């Protein structure tokens, strides 16, 4: 069996001083196969972006990785010297950030910014870099690619800036592309174009994708597998079809029920999960979804549930649904 391209085990990230840490990512484990696409979904504050920054080792100084491993192509990135990471970022792992206007340099031309990444990692002449930049701009659908080399970020629309960010990210043909909310603040038409572009890049370059989003619709369109996070924990994971057809954690069910539909059975009122995500580090024991869960029992407040299997590639951490399916699994094992 081929080893996954990216394998995260028990990743734990804390904020603040070691004497009084605030845990924002709690024992996250996931795998991304070469050429595969995995989505991480959850509300704001669930730990999605912190997980992605931990992979790239771009966490702010106030954060620290207190446990776990991040293996990329068989190498644990967390044990590498800090000076080795710039050679991996951009060349082997690239990232598309949420807001391109704050990620692009406003006083550098688009051509220079994309060319800078190529200059850092590839042995190309000036003419070769220029040709490569034009090729990339065409690939991501920028019209008049050669004529736009000298343009600045403010001269592009939001959707075009996001395309430029994607061009920068794929400039050195990375093996893994991490996209953190790449379609936020874009209208639905441009959003669809960006998602189609990501699919095209995945097919053309065989690039693996780790897509971070709060939008299950986006995850369903792009990804093969999905990781559902809540308050720093992975509460459900599995293949997209299984989770959408049979969500097993109450939180995942709430997220799916919150998706707007043209024919709403509730008389047009959009469903919302009651309450809000607990403050980081405030849940010390039990299931973090306990206070908002419609299925909660007393045990949920005392113990964090283990991951129960709901199929060959589908797991969820819930005492109620998990204990309901466990006897059926035991019967199946005896047959």
Reply yes or no on whether the pLDDT at 321 is more than 70: yes
Task: Report the pLDDT averaged over residues 156-169.
Answer: 88
Tens digit of each residue's pLDDT (9 = 90 or more) over 282-308: 888 999 999 999 999 999 999 999 999
DSSP code for 179: E
Summarised one tens digit per residue, pLDDT across range 257-274 is: 888 776 655 556 778 898
Is residue 192 pLDDT above 60, yes or no? yes
Average pLDDT, the chain: 89
Q: CA 47, CA 63: separation in Å to the nearest integer?
A: 12
In this prediction the pTM is 0.90
- pLDDT at position 330 is 44
3-state secondary structure of 65: strand
Q: How far is Cα 151 from Cα 3, in angstroms, rounded to an integer?
A: 43
Lowest-confidence segment of 9-13, 44-48, 64-68, 131-135 by average pLDDT: 44-48
Per-residue pLDDT band at 314 (split at 50, 70, 90):
very high
Mean pLDDT to the nearest integer, 67-96 = 93
The answer, yes or no, to whether residue 80 has pLDDT greater than 60, is yes
- Please check whether residue 12 is in contact with residue 67, taking contact to mean a CB–CB distance below 8 angstroms: yes
How far apart (Å, rounded) are the C-alpha atoms in residues 43 and 215?
9
212 and 49 Cβ atoms separated by less than 8 Å: yes
pLDDT of residue 264: 57
- Sketch the domain layout of the chain as residue ranges: 6-92+174-247
CA distance 255 to 49: 18
Please tell me the predicted confidence (pLDDT) of residue 182: 85
Is the separation of the CB atoms in 158 and 190 below 8 Å? Answer: yes
Indicate whether 331 pLDDT > 50: no
State residue 286's pLDDT score: 94
pLDDT of residue 23: 92
List, for residues 200-253, the tens digit of each pLDDT value. Answer: 888 888 999 999 988 888 898 899 999 999 999 999 999 999 999 999 999 999
- The architecture in CATH of the region 6-92+174-247 reads 3-Layer(aba) Sandwich (3.40)
- What is the percent of the chain with per-residue pLDDT over 90, rounded to a whole number? 59
SS3 labels along 224-279: CEEEEEECCEEEEEEEHHHHHHCCCCHHHHHHHHCCCCCCCCCCCCCCCCCCCCCC
Confidence of residue 19 (pLDDT cuts 50, 70, 90): confident
Q: Is the pLDDT of residue 332 over 60?
A: no
């Amino acid at each position: 069996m081929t080893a996954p391209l990216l394998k995260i085990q028990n990743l734990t990230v804390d904020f603040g001083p070691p004497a009084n840490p605030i845990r924002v990512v709690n024992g996250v484990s996931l795998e991304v196969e070469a050429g595969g696409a995995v989505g991480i979904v959850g509300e704001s504050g669930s730990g999605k972006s912190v997980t992605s920054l931990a992979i790239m080792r771009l966490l702010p100084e106030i954060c620290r990785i207190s446990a776990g491993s991040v293996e990329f192509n068989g190498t644990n990135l967390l044990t590498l010297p800090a000076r080795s990471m710039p050679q991996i970022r951009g060349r082997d792992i690239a990232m598309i950030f949420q807001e391109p206007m704050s990620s692009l340099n406003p006083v550098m031309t688009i051509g220079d910014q994309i060319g800078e990444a190529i200059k850092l990692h590839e042995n190309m002449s000036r003419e070769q870099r220029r040709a490569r930049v034009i090729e990339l701009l065409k690939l991501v659908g920028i019209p008049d690619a050669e004529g736009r080399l000298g343009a600045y970020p403010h001269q592009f629309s939001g959707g075009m800036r996001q395309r430029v960010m994607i061009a920068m990210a794929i400039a050195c043909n990375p093996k893994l592309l991490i996209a953190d909310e790449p379609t936020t603040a874009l209208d639905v038409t441009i959003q669809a174009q960006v998602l189609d572009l990501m699919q095209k890049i995945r097919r053309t370059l065989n690039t693996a994708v780790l897509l971070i989003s709060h939008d299950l619709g986006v995850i369903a369109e792009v990804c093969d597998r999905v990781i559902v996070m809540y308050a720093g924990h992975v509460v459900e994971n599995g293949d997209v079809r299984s989770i959408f057809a049979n969500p097993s954690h109450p939180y995942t069910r709430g997220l799916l029920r919150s998706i707007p539909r043209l024919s709403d059975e509730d008389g047009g009122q959009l469903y919302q999960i009651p309450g809000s995500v607990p403050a980081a580090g405030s849940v010390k024991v039990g299931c973090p979804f306990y206070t908002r869960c419609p299925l909660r029992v007393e045990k949920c407040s005392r113990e964090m549930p283990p991951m129960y299997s709901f199929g060959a590639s589908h797991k969820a951490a819930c005492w109620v649904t998990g204990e309901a399916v466990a006897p059926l699994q035991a019967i199946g094992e005896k047959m």
